[in-house]
Structure 1
Amino acid sequence: MLRYTLMRLGIFVGCLVVVWGLVYSGLAPRGLGDSNGIWIVLLALVLSAPISFVVLRKERDRASERIVQRVDRMKSSLEASRSQEDVADDSARAQGQTS
């Protein structure tokens, strides 16, 4: 998951540098008044999102598989713990009834 996040951040930073260059060279429009910095960041976000969606598809799938595996392990350990509690409870009740 960290790898995916760093790759996504890298794509954003790359887009930020490209947008900054385009705005300051005059090829892309500048923001209104003092909003130039916000304009550059928002434009970089808008450009990096679809690029990340397409380019990082395989990495995103790998990360989601790891998350699913972790959740499945947690569910199975919870179920094992729950069944141990049931066995202990049943044996305690059985001992209580025989006394």
Structure 2
Amino acid sequence: MLRYTLMRLGIFAGCFVVVWGLVHFGIAPRGLGASNGMWVILLALVVSAPISFVVLRKERDRASVQIVQKVDRVKANLDANRSQEDVADDTSRAQGQAS
């Protein structure tokens, strides 16, 4: 998961540098007034999203599998804890009725 995040951040950083260069040299339009920095960030996000979607497909699938495995493990642990609580509750009730 960390690998996917870092790769995605790298693609965004590359797009940011390219967009900043295009805006700086006047090839791409500048933002309004003092919004130039936000304009460059927004444009870099818009450009990097489809690139990440296509380029990182395999890495995204790997990360998805890892997340599903973690969720399944947590669910199994919760079920095990619930069954332990049920056994303890049944035992204490049985002992209370026997007294």
TM-score (norm 1): 0.89
Structure 1 residues 36-64: Cα deviation after superposition (integer angstroms, max 9, x where no partner): 22211111111011111111111111111
Question: Structure 1: where are the runs of 5+ without partners?
Answer: none
- What secondary structure, in the 3-state scheme, does the structure 2 residue paired with 1:85 have? helix
1:1-99 correspondence runs (5 A): 1-99=1-99
TM-score (norm 2): 0.89
**Structure 1 segments (4+ residues) deviating >6 Å:** none
Number of equivalent positions = 99
Paired residue type of 1:45:
L
Partners of 1:8 and 1:32 in 2: how far apart? 28
Deviates more, 1:29-38 or 1:55-64: 29-38
Percent of aligned pairs with the same amino acid: 79
Paired residue type of 2:82:
R
Paired residue type of 1:97:
Q
Question: Structure 2: where are the runs of 5+ without partners?
Answer: none
